[in-house]
């Protein structure tokens, strides 16, 4: 039978953020299957009779919203009443179960105590779907549940005992006469055990039996099906891009300079000169290792882009010009830019040889989710860059483990600069050896900063609204944030005030992903603890994501073991983190295919002002068949970045619906905050950090001036900085505790402004 040798499976996606995890599980459970993922609004009910005969089974995935809202459920509700001639085995997950149940006579209810990212014991009788399963624990992501009624068409197969919270809750059902099975928990979650792979394998066994019993023959696959249901997942990523050979060459000299401070090296270059661009990506704390200094100048090539533009602004020594995007988007434009600057002869011991450095703002990611940016319309003529990058040709990389300092240039015949820099660094090192007392950091501002905090009552009311969305089933977790505005009066000083402010920040809040990006019109100062994505040099690119969820303020008495109890020992904090781990797995699976693993789950890490719960997810390209072009061209990591923004830890899950809800709960574009900053090296590696615990300003201040309250509108000579801060809201959130958590994160940057005033 065609269905059992290499079956085609239709996976219907309700815009969930776990769908690729389910597809990956399906590929493990059903040998040699082809999984076709289709959105629930991409198929009409009329099309079903034509396409279903080609499939061996359908999987109905989870999703936000409610099975009785047509926009949330799309074509799914038509599956349950198919004519007998079209019927086929279907497996539903969560929203899928709820839809099957209500179309079969059950009642839909809200849970009294919702369960998001929580693990429950799944009780079952060990038969049918649960044959041979034994003890099962399932991760739950639901606000709604079903109550079966006597005489209905579905029967219960498994349940969870929620005690006084919700009583007994249906966890699995089957249709009494039709080949439909469904589970309420998520079999694809990383923390589901017993009820995951085993249950999907059982579904396939039951489905095959049903085919035999009913003599159903799956129609042979026709190529024109591809135009309706797309290719099977994961797509083999064959590029039409011609092979590019190296077009850049890196010249490197290495010095051994123990204890030469990174900030001092920066000051040998343009760091203190406000009129020049400057970039530093600094590992100012563990687990960071390398610091990257861009030795750039006003002639260095700059790339600036705002969402919605049909062009990219490119500025270099020849001036500024608009380059049309044509049929490309900004991502493929940048990929092509980098393809023409490939190099392979840098030092294998360091991650960066030269390349693009800068930031990608939050709204760039929102745009890639196909969500409109409403607030942009009113300020369209004065929008700030969503992409702001500089091409670094000369750089210095400091390895804090070995104390080696790498001086590098991508320019041809640049030995004069390399030699001069070599001498400059050597003399700076000799001078620093003689200087025994640490230098005092000078004040940056002549008056105390004027701070406009988010309105506490308003923020708290928004936490309540967020929770209402969670209770209704629209989202499982929402990362709510707000902007704080800080107006300051820099002292008359020839040294760039933002550079000195950065030195204060890195001293007070040293972080593994610190950074100083002076890319006019934007200046960004970061003390971020969070890596979003790093990808190693090809071939065989490995991608690593390190989401943080779960924060505890450092204070006397909060030792590591106390923090571990408060974070790793807390159902709420682990659930918060687990939801993002599952979301990131989905994002990564979406590009690299099957090869995704959770390397670290919910470990407590120590930072300067906070303890954080951190997980590590990795994936690579090595196992995608026919993937040679990607692994050698180095664009796999870039593709992961393109398809995974905004960072899941800054949105919540499911990502699309959560971002839409957050747009209605936040006043401003998040802008640079919540985006990523970092680099893409000419050798193909990259490392991008989440813009949190950071502040930024725009030279023209137009948006800030417009938004700030009247008393805070900056006078001439003043600067306005913005600090974003927030936190994940879950159904278990306490409103006051969430306000406090937001202010703890805010303080990690805000107190630097206070310290930097005279
Ligand atoms: C939203 C912020 O941080 C995010 C939220 C966290 C949380 O809810 O625990 C932790 C790290 C970040 O992913 C912020 O720092 O502003
Ligand atoms: N994970 C899901 O599919 C959730 C289904 C539904 N939105 C609920 O919250 O109950």
**3-state secondary structure (DSSP) of residue 616:** strand
Strand partners, 141: 116
Domain boundary among 205, 221, 237: 221
**Sheet-wide strand order for 57-60:** 34-39, 8-13, 57-60, 90-93, 180-183, 168-175, 154-161, 107-124, 136-147
Nearest ligand to residue 741 Cα:
1
Q: What are phi and psi of 307, to 5 degrees?
A: -55, 135
Calculate how far, in angstroms, residue 153's C-alpha sits from the geometric centre of ligand 2.
21
Tokens, residue 226: 């591809």
For residues 705 and 720, the answer to whether their CB atoms sit within 8 Å is yes
pLDDT of residue 383: 75
Are the beta carbons of 545 and 532 closer than 8 angstroms? yes
- Whether 243 maps to a domain, the answer reads no
Burial of 705 by CB count in 10 Å (0-12 exposed, 13-18 middle, 19+ buried)? middle
Residues 635 and 583 in one domain: yes
Ligand 1 test: best mutation among 727, 739, 742, 749, most atoms within 8 Å of CB? Answer: 727
CA dihedral sign, ordered 409, 414, 415, 418? negative
How far apart are alpha carbons 210 and 219 in whole angstroms? 16
Do 553 and 631 share a domain, yes or no?
yes
Looking only at the bridges linking them, the beta strands covering 251-256 and 522-528 are unpaired
**CA 474 to ligand 2 center in whole angstroms:** 8
Question: Do 204 and 261 reside in the same domain of the chain?
Answer: no
- Structure-token pair, residue 703: 């948006």
The alpha-helical segments, DSSP class H, found in 473-546 are 497-508
- Å from CA of 324 to ligand 2 middle: 43
Q: What per-residue confidence (pLDDT) applies to 534?
A: 97
Ligand 1 centre distance from Cα of residue 650 (Å) = 7
Answer yes or no: do 537 and 667 share one domain. yes
| The two three-digit tokens of residue 230, written as one number | 């797309």
Instruction: Tell me if 230 is assigned to some domain.
Output: no
- Are 212 and 261 found together in one domain? no
For residue 3, count other CB atoms closer than 10 A to its CB: 23
Whether the CB-CB separation of 266 and 280 falls below 8 Å is answered with: yes
Strand pairing category for 8-13 and 34-39: parallel
Based on the fold, state whether residues 155 and 261 are members of the same structural domain.
Answer: no
Residue 213 sits in a domain whose CATH number is: 3.40.50.880
Ligand number with the minimum distance to the CA of 529: 1
Task: Answer yes or no: is the C-beta of 143 below 6 A from any ligand 2 atom.
Answer: yes
Would residue 245 count as lying in a domain? no
Residue 506 in contact with ligand 1 by CB distance below 6 A:
no
Which one of the listed residues 186, 469, 483, 513 is annotated catalytic? 186
Interface predicted TM-score of the whole assembly (ipTM), two decimals: 0.98
CA distance 344 to 536: 13
Query: Could you identify the atom of ligand 2 that is nearest to the CA of residue 476?
Result: 9
Q: Tokens standing for 308?
A: 């919605």
In Å, the largest CA–CA distance within the chain is: 89
CA of 170, nearest ligand number: 2
217 and 74, same structural domain?
Answer: yes
The residue whose CB lies within 8 Å of the most ligand 2 atoms, and thus the one to mutate among 93, 101, 144, is 144
Q: DSSP string of 236-277? A: P----PPPPPP----EEEEEE-TT--HHHHHHHTTTT-TTS-
In a domain, 228, yes or no: no
Give the closest ligand to the alpha carbon of residue 607: 1
CB count in 10 Å sphere of residue 639 = 20
Q: Closest Cα partner for 421 from 252, 229, 172, 210?
A: 252
Pairwise CA distance, residues 356 & 687, whole Å: 11
745 Cβ inside 6 Å of ligand 1: yes
Q: Is 19 left (phi over 0), alpha (psi -120 to 50) or beta?
A: alpha
Task: State whether the beta carbon of 481 lies less than 6 angstroms from ligand 1.
Answer: yes
Q: Give the chain's count of helices (H) and strands (E).
A: 21, 33
Which pLDDT score, from 0 to 100, does residue 437 have?
Answer: 61
CA distance 575 to 582: 11
Residue numbers of the domain that contains 23: 2-221
Q: State whether 146 and 283 are in the same domain.
A: no
* Residues 6 or more apart in contact with residue 246 via CB below 8 angstroms: 342, 343, 344, 345
- Please tell me the distance between residue 447's alpha carbon and the centre of ligand 2 in angstroms: 52
pLDDT value of position 533: 98
Out of 221, 240, 269, a domain closes at: 221
95 CB within 6 A, ligand 2: yes
Q: Residue 40 in contact with residue 14, Cβ under 8 Å? A: yes
Token pair belonging to 74: 């799309």
Q: Is the peptide bond before 447 cis (omega within 30 degrees of 0)?
A: no
- 284 in contact with ligand 2, CB cutoff 6 A: no
- Would you say the CB of residue 144 lies under 6 angstroms from ligand 2? yes
Question: Nearest Cα to 675, choosing from 290, 288, 389?
Answer: 389
Are both 647 and 547 inside the same structural domain?
Answer: yes
Cis peptide before 29 (omega within 30 of 0): no
Closest CA to 577 of 530, 641, 509: 530
Q: How far is the CA of 96 from the centre of ligand 2 (A)?
A: 9
Tell me whether residue 266 is in a domain.
Answer: yes
Half-sphere exposure of 489 (CA within 13 A, CB side): 9
Contact 497, 490 (CB under 8 A): yes
Bridge partners, 548 (sequence order) = 614
Q: What are phi and psi of 362, to 5 degrees?
A: -60, -45
Report whether 647 contacts 676 (CB < 8 A). yes
Q: Which regions in the chain score pLDDT beneath 50?
A: 1-3, 239-240, 377-381, 623-629, 631-632, 702-713
Q: Is residue 399 part of a domain?
A: yes
Atom of ligand 2 at shortest distance to CA of 472?
9
95 alpha carbon – ligand 2 mean position (Å): 5
| Ligand 1 neighbourhood includes 563 CB (under 6 angstroms) | no
In ligand 1, which atom is closest to the CA atom of 573? 9
Residues 473 and 334 in one domain: yes
Residue 660 bears catalytic tag: no
Q: Residue 613 CA: which ligand 1 atom is closest?
A: 9
What's the CA gap between 383 and 607, in Å, rounded?
35
Cα distance between residue 733 and residue 751, in whole Å: 26
- Out of 221, 243, 277, pick the residue that ends a domain: 221
Q: How far is CA 458 from CA 202, 479, 665, in A?
A: 50, 16, 10
SS3 percent helix, strand, coil of the chain, rounded to 5, is 35, 30, 35
Ligand 2 pocket member 64 (CB < 6 A):
yes
Q: Out of 16, 21, 63, give the residue to mutate to test ligand 2, the one with the largest number of ligand atoms within 8 Å of its CB.
A: 63
Q: Is 665 in the pocket of ligand 1 (CB under 6 A)?
A: no
Is there a single domain that holds both residue 213 and residue 256?
no
Mutate to test the pocket of ligand 2, among 95, 113, 118, 185 (most ligand atoms within 8 A of CB): 95
In a domain, 240, yes or no: no
Q: Which of 94, 191, 295, 602 is catalytic?
A: 94
Ligand 1: centre distance to CA 128 (Å): 43
**Buried b / exposed e along 137-150 (16+ C-beta atoms within 10 A):** bbbbbbbbbbebee
Ligand 2 center–CA 69 separation, angstroms? 12
Question: How far apart are the CA of 65 and the centre of ligand 2, in A?
Answer: 6
Residue 131 and residue 449: Cα distance in Å, rounded? 66
State if residue 90 touches ligand 1 by the CB under 6 angstroms criterion: no
Q: Both 409 and 351 in a single domain?
A: yes
- Which DSSP category does 622 fall into? T
Residue nearest to atom 12 of ligand 1 (CA): 548
Q: pLDDT at position 707, please?
A: 45
The CATH number given to whatever domain includes residue 349 is 3.60.120.10
Of 103, 153, 188, 738, the active-site residue reads 188
Task: DSSP letter for 78, please.
Answer: G
188 is catalytic: yes
Q: How far apart, in whole angstroms, are the C-alpha atoms of residue 344 and residue 244?
A: 12
Q: Which atom of ligand 1 is nearest to the CA of 550?
A: 9
Best mutation site among 76, 473, 731 for ligand 2 pocket (most ligand atoms within 8 Å of CB)? 473
* Contact partners, residue 289, CB within 8 Å, separation at least 6: 283, 399, 400, 401
Q: How far is it, in rounded angstroms, from Cα 620 to Cα 545? A: 12
Ligand nearest to the CA of 527: 1
- Asked if residue 204 belongs to a domain, the reply is yes
Domain count, the chain: 2
Q: Is 63 in the pocket of ligand 2 (CB under 6 A)?
A: yes
Ligand 2: which atom is nearest the Cα of residue 93? 3
Q: Which long-range contacts (CB under 8 A, 24 or more apart) does 323-326 make?
A: none
Determine whether 393 is an active site residue. no
Could you write out the three-class secondary structure of 274-316?
Answer: CCCCEEEEECCCCCCCEEEEECCCCCCCEEEECCCCCEEEEEE
């Amino acid at each position: 039978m065609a269905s059992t040798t290499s079956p085609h499976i239709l996976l219907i996606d309700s815009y969930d953020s776990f769908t690729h995890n389910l597809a990956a599980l399906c590929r493990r459970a059903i040998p040699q299957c082809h999984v076709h993922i289709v959105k629930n609004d991409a198929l009409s009910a009329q099309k079903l009779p034509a396409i279903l005969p080609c499939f061996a089974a359908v999987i109905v995935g989870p999703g936000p919203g409610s099975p009785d809202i047509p926009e949330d459920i799309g074509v799914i509700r038509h599956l349950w009443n198919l004519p007998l001639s079209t019927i086929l085995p279907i497996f539903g997950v969560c929203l899928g179960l709820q839809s099957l149940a209500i179309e079969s006579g059950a009642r839909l209810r809200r849970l009294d105590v919702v369960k998001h990212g929580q693990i429950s014991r799944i009780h079952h009788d060990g038969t049918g779907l649960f044959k041979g399963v034994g003890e099962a624990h399932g991760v739950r992501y639901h606000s709604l549940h079903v109550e079966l009624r006597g005489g209905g068409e579905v029967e219960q197969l498994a349940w969870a005992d929620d005690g006084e919270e919700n009583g007994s809750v249906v966890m699995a059902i089957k249709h009494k006469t039709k080949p439909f099975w469904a589970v309420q928990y998520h079999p694809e979650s990383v923390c589901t055990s017993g009820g995951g792979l085993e249950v999907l394998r059982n579904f396939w066994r039951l489905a095959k039996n049903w085919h035999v019993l009913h003599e159903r023959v799956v129609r042979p696959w026709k190529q024109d099906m591809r135009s309706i249901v797309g290719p099977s997942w994961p797509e083999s990523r064959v590029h039409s891009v011609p092979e590019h050979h190296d077009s850049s060459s890196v010249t490197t000299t290495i010095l051994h300079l123990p204890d030469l401070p990174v900030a001092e090296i920066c000051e040998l270059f343009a760091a203190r000169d406000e009129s020049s661009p400057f970039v530093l990506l600094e590992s100012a704390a563990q687990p960071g290792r390398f610091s990257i200094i861009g030795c750039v100048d006003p002639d260095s090539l700059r790339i600036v882009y705002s969402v919605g533009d049909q062009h990219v602004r490119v500025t270099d020594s020849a001036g500024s010009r608009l380059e049309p995007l044509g049929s490309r988007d900004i991502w493929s434009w940048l990929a092509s830019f980098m393809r023409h600057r490939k190099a392979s002869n840098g030092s294998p011991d360091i991650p960066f040889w030269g390349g693009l450095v800068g930031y990608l703002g939050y709204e760039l990611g929102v745009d890639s989710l196909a969500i409109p940016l409403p607030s942009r319309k009113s300020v369209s003529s004065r929008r700030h860059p969503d992409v702001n990058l500089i091409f670094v040709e000369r750089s210095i990389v400091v390895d804090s483990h070995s104390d080696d300092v790498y001086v590098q240039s991508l320019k041809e015949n640049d030995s004069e600069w390399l030699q001069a820099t070599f001498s400059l660094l050597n003399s700076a090192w000799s001078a620093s050896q003689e200087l025994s007392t640490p230098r005092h950091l000078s004040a940056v501002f002549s008056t105390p900063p004027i701070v406009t905090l988010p309105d506490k009552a308003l923020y708290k009311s928004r936490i309540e609204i967020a929770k209402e969305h969670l209770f209704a089933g629209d989202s499982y977790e929402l990362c709510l944030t707000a902007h704080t505005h800080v107006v300051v009066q820099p002292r008359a000083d020839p040294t760039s005030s933002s550079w000195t402010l950065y030195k204060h920040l890195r001293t007070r809040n040293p972080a593994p992903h610190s950074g100083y990006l002076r890319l006019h019109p934007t200046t960004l100062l970061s003390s971020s603890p969070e890596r979003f994505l790093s990808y190693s040099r090809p071939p065989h690119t490995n991608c690593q994501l390190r989401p943080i969820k779960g924060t505890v303020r450092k204070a006397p008495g909060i030792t590591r073991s106390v923090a571990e109890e408060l974070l790793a020992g807390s159902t709420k904090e682990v659930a918060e983190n687990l939801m993002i781990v599952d979301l990131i797995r989905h994002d990564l699976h979406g590009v690299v295919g099957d090869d995704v693993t959770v390397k670290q789950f919910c470990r407590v890490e120590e930072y300067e002002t906070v303890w954080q719960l951190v997980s590590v997810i990795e994936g690579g390209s090595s196992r995608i068949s026919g993937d040679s072009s990607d692994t050698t061209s180095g664009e796999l990591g870039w593709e992961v970045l393109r398809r995974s923004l905004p960072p899941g830890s800054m949105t919540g899950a499911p990502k699309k619906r959560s971002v839409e809800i957050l747009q209605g709960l936040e006043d401003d574009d998040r802008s640079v905050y919540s985006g990523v900053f970092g680099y893409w090296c000419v050798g193909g590696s990259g490392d991008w950090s989440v813009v949190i615990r950071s502040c930024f300003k725009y030279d023209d201040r137009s948006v800030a001036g417009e938004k700030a309250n009247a008393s805070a509108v900056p006078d001439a000579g003043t600067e306005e900085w913005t600090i974003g801060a927030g936190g994940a809201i879950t159904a278990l959130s306490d409103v006051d505790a969430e306000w406090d958590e937001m202010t703890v994160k805010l303080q990690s940057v805000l107190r630097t402004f206070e310290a930097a005033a005279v």
